[in-house]
């Protein structure tokens, strides 16, 4: 059986990975996938290891950098940043984008009703709590650039998901960006969801992980995505557990759990996402489709 080490952070990002392991879908493909859990920002007791300014110092990226895992997934823009910087800057273990999908993590911009904010335009030049270069950061920019000019969107580091909720209640920020299960936690505490969107995941891997093995991994994840879509309530406990007692299963909005089969990362998708992140100053210039993407799983 082929052994693969895959790393993960938060359940909403990695639900198909967990389900594929626990339901035996990886095993059915002849794979022994070890999931290495690293702290993200979504566990109740998370620290700031996953929020360091230098992405290569963050826990999951550092594990990959050291060769402790073969494959990982994050938000599409985070994977883009990691893959681009590892290929245009010297001294890093190269990573390639190997798929789009399969988790479509929900993010929301949340406000405190006491602040009287009812529409995105009211966030003009007001601080919004995020963690830089993570899905909360990228999705906030994406959501708001349809309502405000880029220079009017003000993001601020506000720690983990739980810490962001606390900062919002103290009035230190006008709004915060949250993912599930913390959107549901915020709603149970009377906070207001101003707007929300699904944020696509991407998958990354080093050159050492061959195409046929990746293909089998993605077949298993696709089967897991279908199982989750059929019965999300069966797998919602993975998310509720991360809230550490701050959320009951009945209060989690199952409609926010959305997953899709992994698929090739197209040249058109690369150009659109890379140019967007580059224009925001989030990644360096110099990347190409050829040195950043490898769809070997489908070849």
Spatial neighbors of 220 by CB under 8 A, at least 6 apart, are 20, 25, 26, 28, 29, 31, 33
pLDDT in tens, 180-212: 999 999 999 999 999 999 888 899 999 899 999
Give dist(CA 92, CA 206) in Å, integer: 11
For residue 250, name the pLDDT band (cuts at 50, 70, 90).
very high
- Length of the chain measured in residues: 299
Contact 201, 161 (CB under 8 A): no
pLDDT in tens, 123-171: 999 999 998 888 889 999 999 999 999 999 999 999 888 999 999 999 9
For residue 105, name the pLDDT band (cuts at 50, 70, 90).
confident
The model carries a pTM of 0.90
What value does the CA radius of gyration of the chain take, rounded to a whole number of Å? 18
Q: What are phi and psi of 47, to 5 degrees?
A: -105, -160
Residue 42 scores a pLDDT above 60: no
Summarize the chain as % helix, strand, coil (round to 5): 45, 25, 30
Give dist(CA 41, CA 28) in Å, integer: 32
Average predicted confidence (pLDDT) for the chain: 90
pLDDT in tens, 147-158: 999 999 999 999
Q: Which pLDDT score, from 0 to 100, does residue 50 have?
A: 47
Residue 56 scores a pLDDT above 70: no
């Amino acid at each position: 059986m082929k052994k693969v080490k895959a790393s993960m952070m938060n359940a909403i990002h990695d639900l198909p990975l967990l389900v594929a392991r626990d339901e035996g879908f990886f095993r059915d493909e002849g794979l022994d996938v070890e999931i290495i859990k690293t702290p993200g920002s979504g566990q109740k007791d998370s620290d700031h290891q996953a929020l360091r300014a230098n992405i290569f110092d963050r826990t999951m990226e550092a594990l990959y950098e050291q060769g402790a895992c073969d494959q990982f997934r994050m938000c599409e823009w985070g994977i883009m940043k990691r893959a681009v910087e590892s290929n245009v800057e010297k001294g890093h273990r190269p990573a390639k984008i190997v798929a789009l999908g399969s988790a479509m993590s929900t993010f929301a911009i949340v406000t405190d009703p006491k602040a009287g904010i009812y529409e995105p335009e009211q966030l003009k030049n007001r601080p919004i709590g995020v963690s830089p270069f993570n899905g909360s950061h990228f999705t906030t920019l994406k959501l708001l650039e349809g309502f405000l000019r880029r220079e009017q969107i003000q993001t601020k580091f506000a720690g983990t998901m739980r810490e962001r909720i606390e900062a919002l209640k103290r009035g230190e920020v006008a709004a915060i960006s949250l993912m599930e299960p913390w959107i549901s936690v915020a709603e149970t505490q009377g906070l207001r969801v101003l707007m929300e969107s699904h944020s696509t995941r991407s998958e990354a891997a080093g050159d050492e992980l061959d195409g046929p093995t990746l293909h089998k991994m993605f077949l298993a994840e696709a089967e897991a995505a279908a199982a989750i879509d059929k019965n999300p309530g069966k797998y919602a406990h993975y998310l509720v557990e991360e809230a550490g007692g701050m959320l009951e299963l009945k209060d989690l909005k199952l409609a926010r759990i959305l997953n899709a089969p992994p698929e090739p990362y197209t040249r058109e998708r690369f150009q659109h996402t890379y140019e967007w992140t580059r224009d925001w100053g989030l990644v360096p210039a110099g990347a190409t489709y050829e040195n950043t993407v490898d769809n070997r799983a489908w070849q």
